[in-house]
A and B are shown apart, each in its own frame.
Chain A
Amino acid sequence: MKVSDLVKEFQLTVFSGESGLDREVEGGYVSDLLSDVMGFSRENQVWITLQTHQNVVAIASLKDLAAVILVKGFRPEERMLEHSNNEGIPVLGTSLSTFEIAGKLYRLLCPEEILPPAV
């Protein structure tokens, strides 16, 4: 699955970093503590957050993350946009909350983990 597939599937806004839309997605990570993401996120994960600071892209780049999704209609700060374009890391947006978009992403990426409804 590619970042561009997520954009289509969830109708995400593409704010910046278009050159990275064909990056491969292998999972997700949810946190608003950047130190936590620095320590525990893994390569090719999509990072869901409400933080809009320039450091978000720097950390996504450092950890080789596939993309960043900003929740609840948050928009990236100017410096974040610049970094995103320079680094080719897409910054995407949704009006959904973290819970909702993380649930949808999990369902899409890990369908085998979701138990069928009890009959």
Chain B
Amino acid sequence: MKVFRADLHIHTVLSPCGDLEMSPRNIVEEAARKKLELIGITDHNSTRQAEVVRQLAHQRGIAVLTGAEVTTREEVHCLAFLPDEERRLLFQHFLDEQLPVIPNSEGRFGYQALVDASDNILELEERLLITGLRAGIGEVEQEVHRLGGLFIPAHIDRSVNSIFSQLGFIPPGLHFEALEITRFVSEESARQRFGIAEAVTLTASSDAHYPQDIGAACSLFYMHDLSFAEIRLALLGRDGRKVMPQPKENR
């Protein structure tokens, strides 16, 4: 069994609130500097920037989970990760169908730039990405799992856009591989405050919108290798694998 440092919640320049410095190149450099071995690329309601980051990071020996931070109809933020490029594209198609067309006029909410590996802007996403999808949380979860993906309700300790703020409690029948906490809460207090059993995995991640925040919180994955299958098993705590959240500001 090995230990891998992971930060599964990182935004890029494609997110309107993501800093312009959050290009694939800068993200990979910063992740390497922070000694992360696994990162998640999670722009709001879009997976389009993730594949470029994955390719760049691969050259530096860093694994990337490609996905998105989905805003459900109830405005719950949830991380979704897809197992391969084919299914990422299928999930992107789902997002495109479910995203209401609200123009991000003149970049009012911040520019949403899709860039290549050398920081060249390929296109500006016209539709506002931070709005809620038409699909509810149950529908999104089912689509992610139909595609063999991972579903992780994000920053559950935040007072807005968390599963607890929007829905009061975790809906019965919702399936998820883990719940994410921010760097501002300890694992113990999160478990106590929300009544989360030890059997449920908590991940801690940075939700970085600026390069310096990458790795501000991370999780240690105890598993055999960095394959998608191993990551899933670690999240599920199977056969001795496990995930230990490291919300930094409480260590």
Complex alpha-carbon distance, A107 and B138, angstroms? 37
Interface-lining segment among A2-10, A15-23, A50-58: A50-58
Complex alpha-carbon distance, A33 and B166, angstroms? 5
Give 1 or 0 for each of B132-159: 1 = CB within 8 Å of chain A CB.
0000111000000000000000000000
State which size class the interface on A falls in: 10 to 19
- Indicate if B164 sits at the interface (CB-CB under 8 A): yes
- Indicate if B171 sits at the interface (CB-CB under 8 A): yes
Docked-complex contact A55 and B167, CB < 8 angstroms = yes
B171 contacts across to A, CB distance below 8 A: 53-55
Residue from the list A53, A77, A79 in contact with B167, Cβ < 8 A: A53
- Indicate if B230 sits at the interface (CB-CB under 8 A): no
Complex alpha-carbon distance, A93 and B206, angstroms? 41
Q: Which of A38, A52, A55, A77: most chain B CB closer than 10 A? A: A55
Give 1 or 0 for each of A17-58: 1 = CB within 8 Å of chain B CB.
000000000000000011111100000000000011111001
Docked-complex contact A77 and B169, CB < 8 angstroms = no
- Indicate if A105 sits at the interface (CB-CB under 8 A): no
Docked-complex contact B136 and A77, CB < 8 angstroms = yes
Docked-complex contact A51 and B74, CB < 8 angstroms = yes
Docked-complex contact A35 and B74, CB < 8 angstroms = no
Docked-complex contact A37 and B136, CB < 8 angstroms = no
The answer to whether residues A35 and B136 also contact, given A54-B171, A55-B171 and a CB cut-off of 8 A, is: no
B74 contacts across to A, CB distance below 8 A: 51, 53
Docked-complex contact A34 and B136, CB < 8 angstroms = no
B212 contacts across to A, CB distance below 8 A: none
- Indicate if A12 sits at the interface (CB-CB under 8 A): no
- Indicate if B240 sits at the interface (CB-CB under 8 A): no
Complex alpha-carbon distance, A56 and B160, angstroms? 17
- Indicate if B165 sits at the interface (CB-CB under 8 A): yes
Complex alpha-carbon distance, A37 and B74, angstroms? 14
- Indicate if B168 sits at the interface (CB-CB under 8 A): yes
- Indicate if A59 sits at the interface (CB-CB under 8 A): yes
Docked-complex contact B164 and A35, CB < 8 angstroms = yes
Q: Which of A34, A51, A53, A59: most chain B CB closer than 10 A? A: A53
Closest 8 CB pairs of A and B: A34-B168, A55-B167, A38-B168, A35-B165, A34-B167, A59-B168, A35-B168, A55-B171
Q: List 6 A-B contacts (CB under 8 A).
A: A33-B166, A53-B136, A53-B171, A55-B167, A58-B169, A79-B138
**Residues of chain B having any CB pair with chain A under 8 Å:** 73-74, 136-138, 160, 164-169, 171
**Residues of chain A having any CB pair with chain B under 8 Å:** 33-38, 51-55, 58-59, 77, 79
